[in-house]
Chains A and B, each alone.
Chain A
Amino acid sequence: MPYVANTTDDQRAMLDAIGLESLDELFEAIPEELRLKRPLAIPPALSEMELTAHLTALAGKNASAGEKVCFLGGGSYDHFIPAIVDHVAARGEFYTSYTPYQPEASQGNLQVFFEYQTLITQLTGMDVSNASLYDGGSAAAEAVLMAVTTTKRHGRVVTANSVHPEYREILATYLANLGIELVTVGTPEGTVSPAELAAQINGDTACVLVQHPNFFGCLEEVDALAAAAHDAGALLVVAVDPISLGLLKRPGDYGADIVVAEGQSLGSPMSFGGPYLGIMACREQHVRRMPGRIAGETVDRRGKRCFVLTLQTREQHIRREKATSNICTNQGLFALRAAVYLAAMGPVGIRQTAELCLRKARYASGRLTADTSLVPAFSRPTFKEFVVRCPHGNVEAALERASESGYLAGVPLSRWYDDLADCFLVAVTERRTQDEIDGLAACLKELTCSNA
C-alpha cells in the first residue's frame, strides 16, 4: 500500500474517534445483500520494480515511432517536441493541480489559459478562444452544436467528404437524436466544389463544416466556401491544422465564424490518439454560445491584474440542462503544452516548421510518384499530406510489408472510402529527412512493383 499513510495504530485511533470497532462498520450504510462477498477478480498487486518490468515488456511489444520511420497522419502527427515543453508540463504544481475554482490559488493555471487563448487568437486570426476542449473531433461536433444554437437553425448541417471521417462520425453520433439533418457533399476531385456545397445549403442550414487543409491534405477554396455559407446566412465552421497556419492565410482572415483544430501537433505526443487538445476559437459576437472554460482578465481588490474563469453562466455547473455543453473541464495540461510550444516557436519557428513540412511533403510526393508505380490520387495543391493510389496490388499488404521494413508508410483509406480503397494517405512532418523519404520511396518501389 504505497500511497496510504495510515498505520494500524492510526486506524485504531481514528476508529476510536469516530466511535467504531472495525473498518467494516464504515460500510454499514451499504445493505449486506449488495456487498461483494469475495475479493475482486483482478491480478495481484505488483511492486514498483515488478510493474516497471511489466510495462517495459508491454512497451517492447509495440513499435514506437522512434523505431520505425513515421509517415502516418490523418489528424495525429510526428512533429518535434522541444524539451522545454516536457520540462514545464512535468512541474507538479501544474499537473497535480485542478481546475481553477479558487482563482487566488490558481493564478498559474489561469494565466497560462489566458496566454493560451491569446496565442490561439494570434494563430487563427479569430477574436476569442476558449481554454480548450477534448480533441479536434469532438471540438468540431461542439462547434456545429454551437452554430445551431447561435443561428437558431435546427434543420440542417452541411459538411464535405473531405472532412476527417472520424470527425464526421462523431458529428453524426452527436446529432443522432437531435433531429438535425447532416448532408455530406462528395469530393471526387479531393476538394469540395463551392457550387455543389452552396446547392445543399438551405434557409434552415445552421452551418457548413469544412476542413482546410482537408483530410486528404488538399487545400480547399476557403474564400468561396465562406461566401457560399454566408450568402445563405449559415456560419462557416472550419477545422484547421495549426501548423499550417505558419504559412496559410488565417481563418479569421477568410471569414470563418468558428475555428476548431486538433492541437496535438502543438507539442503533444501522439500517444495512440490521446490525450489531445481540442482547439476552438470564434468571433466575439458568438462567445456567449461557446462551450468550455474561458479565462478572463480582471483586477483583485487591490487593483492588481489577475485572471479568473469567466462567462461561467454558459456552463453546466450553473445552467445544468440549459448549458452550452456538458463539458466540465478543459484539457489544461495540453493547453499548457501548446502554449509553451507556440511561445517557443514564435512567428519565425512556426513559419519554418510549416515550410519544412510543405517542402518535404512535396519532395516526398514527387519521389513516390516518380520512382514507384504509385500515382497521385488528386491534383489539388497540398500542404503536408497527400494521397497516392496503388494501381497494382493490395494497399494493406504493401503497407504491412513496408512496416516490416521499418516504414510506417501511410494510412489506408479503405476503412472510410470505397472509391479510395486502393489509396493511402502519406504525411511528412519537419522531422522527416531526405534520406528517410528516399528510403521510403525505395521501399515502396520494391513493394508496389512486386505486388503487380
Chain B
Amino acid sequence: MLLAIVGLLMGLLLGFVSGVRIPPHLAPYTAVALLAAADSLLGGLRSSLSGTFDDTIFVSGLISNALLAALLAFVGDRMGINLYLAAVVAFGVRIFQNLAIIRRMLLLRV
C-alpha cells in the first residue's frame, strides 16, 4: 500500500518535472488513459482485498482496457463523433462500483 502511494507521488513528480506537454488534440487520449489507469487501480485494490488478486489478469486488463479506449477515441475522431465519451462513462461507472464494493469490504471487516 505504502509502495503504491510512493509510486503515485513519484509519477506526479515525474510528470511535473519532465518537459512533455500534451498537444490539445491528443487530450481525449490522455483523459481516457488516465481513467483506464484509475479504473484498473481500484479494480486491483478490490480484488486484493477479496484475496483474488492475480497480477497477470491485472496487467492484461489494464492494457486491453487502455487499448480499447484509445481505439474508440481514434475511431470517434475519424467519424466526428466523440466516441471516447463511451469509454469515459464506462470507466466512470466502474470506478464508482469498485469504490462501493471496497467501502463495504472495509466496513464489514471492521
Tell whether A and B belong to one assembly.
no
Residues of chain A having any CB pair with chain B under 8 Å: none
